[in-house]
Every structure is written in C-alpha cells, then in structure tokens.
Structure 1
C-alpha cells in the first residue's frame, strides 16, 4: 500500500497541548446539553444518563481507532487522508465532502442560533448583523494563524466547562443540605433517580431510545480533535491524552450534570421547554441565571461555528491535494492557513443569514438538511472504522509497532459499526428524522455524480502516487 506523500505545502504544527485538550472538550460538549437536556430528561427519565454513557462508550472506541490510524503515519492530516489511502480515492472523496457538508450545515444553524441568543439582550438588533460580525471576526482570526483558532476554542470551551462544573457543585450543595425545591415542595434526594413512579425507565425502552436518538446529536464534533491533531506540536503526546480523557468528560459533563439536576428537581418535574441549567442556578437565588446560561450557550454556538470554519477549510485543503476538489483550495497563505478553502466555506455560512429572513417550507427543508448532516456524521464515523479494519489487514506490521493501539481491535470495530447501524435505525422512529433519512440518498447521489465527472482526474493523481 502506497503512503501519502508529503505535500509541497503543509499545515504548521502550532497548536499546543492545552489547545488540543480544550478542543476535545468543546467537541464533546454540545449546545444541546444546555438547552436540550430538559427534553431528553422528560423523554427517558433517569435512564437518560445510560443513553449518554452508552453513546460515549462506543464513540470512545471510534476515536481510539482514529487515533491509532493518525499516529500510524503523521502524513495523515485527517480521516479523509487515511480513508483515501486505505479504502481508495472514492471513499476519500465521499468522506471528505460529506464531512465538509455536515459542518457547513451545522455552521449555518449556529449562525441562526447566535442571532437568537444576541436578541436575548438586544431584541431590535437587525437579523443580519450578529451573524455577519461573527463570521467576519472568526474568519479574520482563522486566517491569521491556527494558534488563534486554538485560543478561541480554548476560551469558548473553558466557559462551558466552568458552567457545568458550577452546576454540578451547586447540585451537590443542594443535595447535601436537603434543599426543598420551592417549585415542587419536594426535598432533594438521590432516590429521585430510581424511586419515582416508573423507576429508572419511566417510559420504558421506547422512551429511552427517543432520548438516545437526540443524545447522539450532542456528540457531533467529537472527531474534530483528529483534524486539529494535524497541527498539534506533539501529536504522539497530545492526541492520546485528548482521546483517553473522553470517558472522564462524559461522566462529568453528562452523567454527573444530568444526575444532579434530577436529584434536585425530580425528572417528572423538569420542564422540557426550559433549560434545567437556568432552573438550577435560579434555585440558589441567582437572578441573572437566564443571562448567564444564555452567555454560555452563545459561547457554545460560537465554539461550534468556529470549529466548523476550521474543519471545513482543512477538509477542502486535503481534498484539493488529491485532486478531489479544485487545486486552488490546496494553497496556503503565508501563515500556513488554507485561506481559499476557508473563505469558500465562509460563503456558505452566509446562507445562514439569508435563512433568517425565510420561513415556511424553506425552514422545514433546513430541518431536513440538518438531519441529513447528522446522518452524515454517522457515515464518517463508520468509514473511520472500515479504514481501521482495512489497516489491520493490510498493514499488520504498523499495528504491531503502534504505541497507541485500539483496545479490542477489529472485533470492537464491528461492535461499533453495529451500534451505529442501530442508531440509524432509531432515526426511522421519528417523523422529522425519517424524512431526513429519505432525503439522504440525494446528497450521496450528488457526490456520486461529482465523483463520476472527476473520476479520471482523481484516478490519474492516484496512479501518479504509485509510481
């Protein structure tokens, strides 16, 4: 198997360990934890913590597979590179463009969300202004140096971490002091997690799976650490550290956070339409709780948009180097940043501003496209696993020399694939996500046409690498 040759222009390794660790944390904490956890609790009750634990468990092994592959050859800059090298040009083409599309759509959704959060403070602000300012500032800083991207992600993620640790601390304090919830008249107690009517699974396995389906969305972006590792100073040290801490993050940020919420406010008293984070801070007499959480969620949306801008630029850069995208996207500016690719992606983020002025069928279609994006992430995760299986078959000597082997190996890969297939099945249980699934073949059809048109050029490049 031929290896990817070092490109003439290459990304610079300017991200430090603290940057990569917080990028990993930011990827593991979605905005849905702050705003959507009330809905997941109402659907599944206490069993919601098992949903997050189960999803986190399998995604940890998927990230371990990705980590071993990236460290097996430092010329791999992302999972697109090893998909191309191990599974072939067609797989690399589909993975790279699908990942680009997923982040562009999420970026547009983030721009819409950012405008809504800003209107919390300034209701009369023009709809186009917050998103435009956001895109301009983040694009400007991303164009300067990757280190500035790392700094932005560091502080965005830190805000989320402080908010969650604060919530856990407040919840434990209320639990220990026997606080009586003024809204329910019920004292705080650990027994709320199993002794309420219906027990741990109050809505049965169906309710558990309903929350499971939503919870998968919260982990979207966890693989961003792999893309950022290409620009880390010491990937052999920093990438394993970032991935190995995923289980701890899942326990602290999801299990503990949701657990303390349900000990203070019983699951059946949680309002699915309101953020339980706001409620928790309000209970201890913080009148500006809503403002604080709005600030946290705004930072989470900014973090997601920033990560999307970073990853889409890097994906196009990698695709262009294999002739799977226009060669102009393989150009780096003097700061080692793929500027043309980044600016091209920003043009699509501007569509988020246009959607703010639309309603009706267009917004309905936007919901469908967002669902397609989430399914696209599952596709990317599956391709990482297939690439690992091929790597173990074709390059056993590299696996033997690996200092960061995936636990469970190929067998664990097949278990993870089965889990992801089951996750896709759960999308058929909800009308909106089912509709999105039915539209998904359109995207892959577009990719198939694009690959067919460019197949000869892509094949010529692949053959030139073998000589």
Structure 2
C-alpha cells in the first residue's frame, strides 16, 4: 500500500474500514439504480427486444473496462483511482480533468436518482411536490455519508441487498410464469413475445443505437469499486474479487431480468401498462406488489445516490491532495471521512432539486444523457491509462502482473471503438444531443481554470 502512495506523492488519511462484503455490494449497488428500474423502459421503447443485444454488448465492454481498471488498481490502490492513475500515466492535466469529470458525472447521477425518488413517491402521495421529496432524499443521504466509512458500508450493504434479492425473486417468478404458467391460469406464456410484435428488432439497428446511451447509463457507477480502493481492508483480494464477478452480475441483473419481462409482456406495451416489476408480482398473487416494488425502487435510488455522495467526496479529497482542488477539501473529520467534499457535492445537488421544481417531466432524460458522457469519459481514460501503464513495464513485468487485462491492447481498442460509436449514436436523438454540447463546454471550462489558476505549474 505504501508503495502506491509514494508513487503518487499522496498522504491519504482515510480509514480502511470497508470489508470484502461491503465492496462487493457497494459495486453492485452503485450500478443497479434507476438505470434499470426507470431508464430501461426508455431503452426498450427505442429498441424493442433487441435492447438485450445492446445490454449484452455494452456489458462485455464494461467488463473489459473494469479489468483494465483492476490491472492498475491492484498495483496502486488509492482513493482517487482512475483520476490518480491518469495523473501518473497520462499527465497532471488528464488526472485533473478525469477527477472533476467523474465528480460531475456523479452530480448528474445524483440529480437523476433524487428525481426518480420524487417520481415514485407520487405512488403514495400524488399531490406531494416532486422537488420536496428530492430535497428530503438529499438531506437524508448527506447525513448518512457523514458517519464512519464502516457504518456507511453496512448501510449500503443492506440497501443493495434489498434490490438484489427483489430482482432475483422477480426473475424466478417470471420463469415460473414462462415455463409453468404460474399466476397465468396454468398457461405458460413461453418466449414468443420476443419476436411476435414487429420482430426481435422492430425499429432496426437505428433503434438499438438510439437505446445505447440509456443502456450505457444503466452501467454507470460500476467503476465505483475503484473509488473504494483507498478504504478497502485488503485491496488486492477484495477489489479483484469484486471485478471478477462484474460480468456475471451484468448478465443476471440486466440482460436476464429484461429478457424474462419481455417474454411475459409485449415490449410495445411495457411503457403503458405500468411497472413490469409490479405486474409480475401481481401475477404471482402478491397483493401488495405495487407498494413493495415502489419501496424497492426508492431504496434503489437512495442506494445509488448514497454511492454518488461517497464517490464525489472521495474524488474531491484526492484532487485536493493532488493540488487540483482547494486545499480545505483534504481535511477529514474524526471518523476519517472527507466531510467537506461530501458537503460541497450535496450543496451542488440542490440544483437538481431546483430542476425538479422547474421542469419535473423532462429532467430525467436530460440529466442521464449528460451523466452518461461523464461516465464514458472516465471509461476512456481508464482504458488509456492501462495502455500507458503497460508501456512502462518490461515483458517480464507484464507476466508477473497480479491481475491482467485480457487480450490487451486489442480489447482496449475494441472498447474505445464501441464507446466512440455510442457518442455518435447520441447525436441521432434530440433528447440526448444536449450532452454533446454540455460536456465539451464543461471540459473547456475545466481547462481554462487549470491554466488560469496556474495548476500546470504545480507539482501533483
């Protein structure tokens, strides 16, 4: 551990209180949020059953990204993760841009999560203002993030476990309906719905491309495992184990869950018949299904928002140690929690509350498209950092690596090409085009600040 700190010139003062089970569930909880429960309906509407191909293809690319991150992270386990790695292997400017862009990404994601909470609270309180619920959720998650990291890990562990168990039960229930006709008068539904309503790819490849931005957003947050590195009890063991399970989790929680839902309900009706999760449990005779799933979805959004505040606090802390953020953000409280970074992020998230007040009906798609670009920037940097890291090693050192990126550099190039395709696809839909303008402007602002503040002259 000390070796990694010396190489970065950092003096981290975080508590390594996150155990293996915490990190396993934090990584999964960060990735399974409103992208699956709320955003997937938008993706299905665009691509039809072929959205499964989009989720599977994106899942494979995400797996390669995680392996690329893991190769470097196992050798240099610091809280800044890919930001610190970018600074070391690509230069201080890239580390700065990546750290602040990741912060920006999670701010956008946090806004999406509190928006989803506002939407789903209408199930119980239809007259409750959406912005008021969003504010309450934000204040609650901020308070949670001020506690010791071990307590945060426990909180996130149980939050994530609730939604994981729910998805597994839903998949099992769907299989019972598909194969045995459980809850459907004993008549198996089969899988014909996957191709009998306009075909498997009813909107052609164009529809799949339109869905890809939302699909990629669904995977946003999966790289949070890297941010936990500075507080992992045994980084080499726990981080590798968490990353190894990523691909199978993607298949189970995204591809399989959506596949069984579209087997039971025609894809072109899912957006109109309400939550497919509620409908599945209703079919199984669970009378309180709507209330239960609503609770799970709200819990899911709170969990993802919780992970966002955790990530932004740690990223601002690491940027401060790199002298790429105000020095006061490098302070931690008595529990070794970077409280100031968390508080700053929470204050910025108040913009999300304001947006829910101004334009509650359109805010989700706008925020998610911008956040997706922040995630894709991070993933590109991860892939390139691993390539740069490999160039510093001799063939003998590559052989001795504890955790290798499979088939590098070819899988790096394939993943980079895929991400470039998603960026191009975002230009096809007017709802996601906004990100093509906002994110480049964000980068330009960062670069101007970098040189104006003389950060290029400071040592990281």
TM-score computed with the length of structure 1 as normaliser: 0.90
- Runs of 4 or more above 6 Å deviation: 363-366
Q: Over the residues paired in the alignment, what is the CA RMSD in angstroms?
A: 2.5
CA contact (8 A) 2:16 2:231 kept: yes
CA contact (8 A) 1:30 1:220 kept: no
Q: Structure 1 pair 129/44, CA: closer, same or farther in 2 (3 Å)?
A: closer
> SS of 2:369's equivalent?
helix
Q: Shift of residue 6 of structure 1?
A: 5.3
Partner of 2:189: 188
Larger displacement relative to structure 2 (105-114 or 131-140): 131-140
Unaligned runs of 5+ in 2: none
* Cα-to-partner distance string for 1:37-62 (whole Å, 9 max, x where unaligned): 33433432322212111100000010
Instruction: Write the distance in 1 (CA, Å) between the matches of 2:66 and 2:110.
Output: 23
Q: Structure 1 pair 223/75, CA: closer, same or farther in 2 (3 Å)?
A: closer
Instruction: Write the distance in 2 (CA, Å) between the matches of 1:370 and 1:164.
Output: 22
Partner of 2:214: 214
* Cα-to-partner distance string for 1:262-288 (whole Å, 9 max, x where unaligned): 222233443456321122112223232
Partner of 1:465: none
Unaligned runs of 5+ in 1: 463-467
CA contact (8 A) 1:37 1:275 kept: no
Q: Structure 1 pair 414/343, CA: closer, same or farther in 2 (3 Å)?
A: same
Q: Structure 1 pair 365/20, CA: closer, same or farther in 2 (3 Å)?
A: closer
Aligned counterpart in structure 2 of residue 67 of structure 1, from 60, 65, 70 = 70
Partner of 1:144: 147
Residue 275 of structure 2 is aligned to residue 275 of structure 1: yes
Q: Shift of residue 76 of structure 1?
A: 6.2
* Cα-to-partner distance string for 1:112-159 (whole Å, 9 max, x where unaligned): 332333342234546565444433332233222111221121112111
Residue 28 of structure 2 is aligned to residue 29 of structure 1: no
Larger displacement relative to structure 2 (438-447 or 132-141): 132-141
> SS of 2:7's equivalent?
coil
CA contact (8 A) 1:42 1:272 kept: no
Q: Structure 1 pair 155/365, CA: closer, same or farther in 2 (3 Å)?
A: closer
Partner of 2:457: 459
Partner of 2:199: 199
* Cα-to-partner distance string for 1:185-229 (whole Å, 9 max, x where unaligned): 9850134334x2543223222222222332111111111111012
Q: Shift of residue 390 of structure 1?
A: 0.6
Partner of 2:372: 374
Residue 114 of structure 2 is aligned to residue 111 of structure 1: yes
> SS of 1:402's equivalent?
coil
Partner of 2:434: 435
Q: Shift of residue 431 of structure 1?
A: 0.7
Q: Shift of residue 69 of structure 1?
A: 0.6
Aligned counterparts, 1:62-461, within 5 A: 62-75=65-78, 77-125=80-128, 129-178=132-181, 187-194=188-195, 196-271=196-271, 274-359=274-359, 368=366, 370-396=368-394, 398-455=397-454, 457-461=455-459
Give the paired residue count: 456
Larger displacement relative to structure 2 (394-403 or 346-355): 394-403
Q: Structure 1 pair 164/115, CA: closer, same or farther in 2 (3 Å)?
A: same
